Copies of this chain bind each other. A is one copy, B any other.
Amino acid sequence: MGIYTLKAESVLKSGFAVENTAGKFTIIADEPASMRGTDTGMNPVEMLLCALGACQCITARFLARSQRFDLQDYRVALEGDLDPAGFMKGAEGVCPGFQQVRVTVYIKANATAEEIDRFVDLVQKRCPVGDTLCHGVPVVKRHIVEE
């Protein structure tokens, strides 16, 4: 099948607002007023949780179809823990990113509890965003263009 390259672009607008585009779709990120933002969108770490939840849901639909698993409903609640001292202060020994992400799966399916367990485990294993988060990925700075 070969390697497939996905693309996106993020443009810093006024204050903390960011316009993020992939293909024909745009989503806005921002910070709340309490962080001196203009509160026009969720923040990027919430967006990361949404990417994970969305990917698990789509993986569930995809695997249900290919495995003839009778999936009726799938919903994911996500939590991620951050220590703001890492980002805001660059505190020594405190990572700026998530320290842990927790996923609770709400599922309705015409299957036994054991089959459901196996299905949810497979969803977590095959989910591209989940795999990226669990194992990490090299983020390479290609170059800097001064404009």
Q: Is the interface of A mostly helix, strand, loop or mixed?
A: mixed
The tally of residues in A whose CB lies under 8 Å from a CB in B reads 107
Q: Is the CB of A90 within 8 A of B126?
A: yes
User: Can you sample 11 A-B contacts with CB below 8 Å?
Assistant: A6-B45, A10-B50, A12-B58, A18-B57, A22-B49, A25-B46, A27-B27, A45-B55, A48-B55, A104-B142, A134-B139
Q: Which of B29, B59, B75, B116 contacts A11 (CB 8 A)?
A: B75
Q: Is the CB of A18 within 8 A of B147?
A: no
Closest Cβ–Cβ distance, residue A93 to chain B (whole Å): 13
Q: Is the CB of A57 within 8 A of B139?
A: no
How many protomers of this protein does the assembly include? 2
Q: Is the CB of A57 within 8 A of B25?
A: no
Closest Cβ–Cβ distance, residue A90 to chain B (whole Å): 6
Q: Is the CB of B22 within 8 A of A143?
A: no
List residues of A whose CB falls within 8 A of some B CB: 1-12, 15-16, 18, 20-23, 25, 27, 29, 31-32, 41-62, 73-88, 90, 95-109, 113, 116-117, 120-121, 124-147
